[in-house]
Structure 1
């Protein structure tokens, strides 16, 4: 088993094309855009078993105020998750072989991480990849995290029936107001809307990474997968969402709407994506209690992901810093 940096984006993306794992957030251009607009250096590792590439593992490294930090996904990036991606042969392996492959990946990557001498490491897996035991065996700690999802394979009537009664009333009321939804590429307006919405709630905006050009590069890089929808009330923009469509999964990535227009906007997106043949409607972020009353009213299921961490004494300071100071713009 060998671990080395992959310098060819075509090799990286071809691996992602062939495996059932991974997300749009793992694509090469996505990672390079994050690197461009952040203070982190991208380390795109590949794990090889002989000549076979069995895993890709994007890490981001930063030296910050005397501390060395390793992330996958990095703070300030707005990515909902990242982590490692196993290869196309992995699902067909017997359990003993799966554990051998994962153990090699964990041993190889943690050895590379040790060479960086970080004070703090956190690696977040993509949803539904649940075996992180080999990292625990390498003396890492694991914390649980959750996202919501709606099964778009269900009949539309069954999805609607699952919504709580207040949610249905809000959607029906908004539907009587002549609202319309359409695609947009106006990232400046998106940032303005998000800033106003957060300010109205007494919170600092999450959208302080670089500038609106950061989002614009995502939209330009993957226009078939990443789209921005505006909800209009007359000529006024009443809501905005940036969404991802990738491999049958729809991810409600970034955005918000005024008042209860959010319920209406999500329902319109659910109907649209189901009609387009997508199978899963993903709503990231089922950990923060303040947003759960809104997200849970759609009767979603829960999907599990992990934060795999390791820190020394100085890393504890780093963790506190990011949790209590930097959190306003993660």
Structure 2
């Protein structure tokens, strides 16, 4: 098997990277150069896309956010604020033999792992997208691993047969109040709702207004998703979902509800109408990122989803581990 070369991609190679993202099943909008460049431009993040090449063909890679902490630590992570997963990608093997597929994928991942270990990072954290199942090239070489969960709502099934009695009551309440849903491309409305959620909890919103404006620009230009809002009869938006398109699926990226609007059913109405709309457009499932927070998981379970695991791996050197312990002691 030919040797794998790993190096940082030049901006002129980002189009080739995006083609790899499009071809691989675990590839998501979060992997694309357009999405990563929003973090670079708005948050001034140091973004690097490392590519794996075999005979000058791009066969894998991984985007990383790199950060220097007070000039002491150099850390790398495949995720950032409100991007819950990203991580390595590898091209699909053309072989029909399972052993050959494993051999090829492990060759790419081992080369990537060895390269990352030589970059002088004190900590490396990679969170793989759902569907990327084989992380053994990392765990077999001393990396710590962790399992996370998302929910897949099967859009090939009858939605009404799978919802709970509580959801039915919520839908009835929303209908009696005259709430309606519609698509709407307005970052100001979404940012306003999300701000209210964080203000109620006395927390700082994780991303600035400019970030959401650029996401909405990307949605309009590249047709990568949509916003669905729930409105009162007076036209006031009380809840919204920002959804991105995946492969044969959609990804529930972010949601917000006005905490001062006490009527039950706003979120239930959004999900229910969204399911029906996606079914009419032949999507296979909806990836609802609500499996790791108990109160969100309890709500979405009322729609009878499938629980799907996904994984992360972490490598920390002794300096990072020692400073992390010290920080816990003094805070």
Give the TM-score band, short-chain normalised.
Answer: 0.7 to 0.9
Match of 2:52 in 1: 47
* Residues 5, 193 of structure 1: alpha-carbon distance in 2 compared, 3 angstrom cutoff: same
Match of 1:199 in 2: 199
Match of 1:111 in 2: 114
Instruction: State whether residues 67 and 318 of structure 1, in contact with CA within 8 Å, keep that contact through their aligned partners in structure 2.
Output: no
Task: Please tell me whether residue 226 in structure 1 is matched to residue 225 in structure 2.
Answer: yes
Give deviations 1:15-70, integer Å, cap 9, x for gaps.
Answer: 23333331111111111112223353111111122233221211221111221111
Instruction: State whether residues 19 and 87 of structure 1, in contact with CA within 8 Å, keep that contact through their aligned partners in structure 2.
Output: yes
How many residues end up aligned between the 2 structures? 315
Q: CA deviation at 1:317?
A: 6.3
* Residues 319, 222 of structure 1: alpha-carbon distance in 2 compared, 3 angstrom cutoff: farther
Match of 2:211 in 1: 214
Alpha-carbon distance between aligned partners in 2 of 1:26 and 1:166, rounded to the nearest angstrom? 37
Give deviations 1:100-132, integer Å, cap 9, x for gaps.
Answer: 223222322222222322221110001021110
Gaps of 5+ in 2: none
Alpha-carbon distance between aligned partners in 1 of 2:271 and 2:247, rounded to the nearest angstrom? 20
Match of 1:175 in 2: 175
Q: CA deviation at 1:161?
A: 2.2
Match of 1:121 in 2: 124
Q: CA deviation at 1:190?
A: 1.5
Q: How do residues 98-177 of structure 1 correspond to structure 2 at under 5 angstroms?
A: 98-154=101-157, 156=158, 159-177=159-177
Instruction: State whether residues 2 and 47 of structure 1, in contact with CA within 8 Å, keep that contact through their aligned partners in structure 2.
Output: yes
Q: How do residues 1-330 of structure 1 correspond to structure 2 at under 5 angstroms?
A: 1-7=4-10, 8-65=13-70, 66-74=72-80, 76=81, 78-89=82-93, 92-154=95-157, 156=158, 159-200=159-200, 202=201, 204-205=203-204, 207-209=205-207, 211-223=208-220, 224-233=223-232, 234-258=234-258, 259=262, 260=264, 261-316=266-321
Helix, strand or coil at the partner of 1:32: helix
* Residues 102, 64 of structure 1: alpha-carbon distance in 2 compared, 3 angstrom cutoff: same
Q: CA deviation at 1:279?
A: 0.8
Q: CA deviation at 1:170?
A: 0.4
* Residues 270, 147 of structure 1: alpha-carbon distance in 2 compared, 3 angstrom cutoff: same
Alpha-carbon distance between aligned partners in 2 of 1:322 and 1:244, rounded to the nearest angstrom? 37
* Residues 191, 26 of structure 1: alpha-carbon distance in 2 compared, 3 angstrom cutoff: same
Gaps of 5+ in 1: 325-330
Normalising by structure 2, report the TM-score.
0.87
Alpha-carbon distance between aligned partners in 2 of 1:217 and 1:31, rounded to the nearest angstrom? 11
Worse-superposed segment, 171-180 or 11-20: 11-20
Match of 1:327 in 2: none
Alpha-carbon distance between aligned partners in 1 of 2:137 and 2:300, rounded to the nearest angstrom? 33
Helix, strand or coil at the partner of 1:148: strand
Instruction: State whether residues 229 and 270 of structure 2, in contact with CA within 8 Å, keep that contact through their aligned partners in structure 1.
Output: no
Q: CA deviation at 1:149?
A: 1.0
Alpha-carbon distance between aligned partners in 2 of 1:256 and 1:319, rounded to the nearest angstrom? 33
Q: CA deviation at 1:268?
A: 0.9
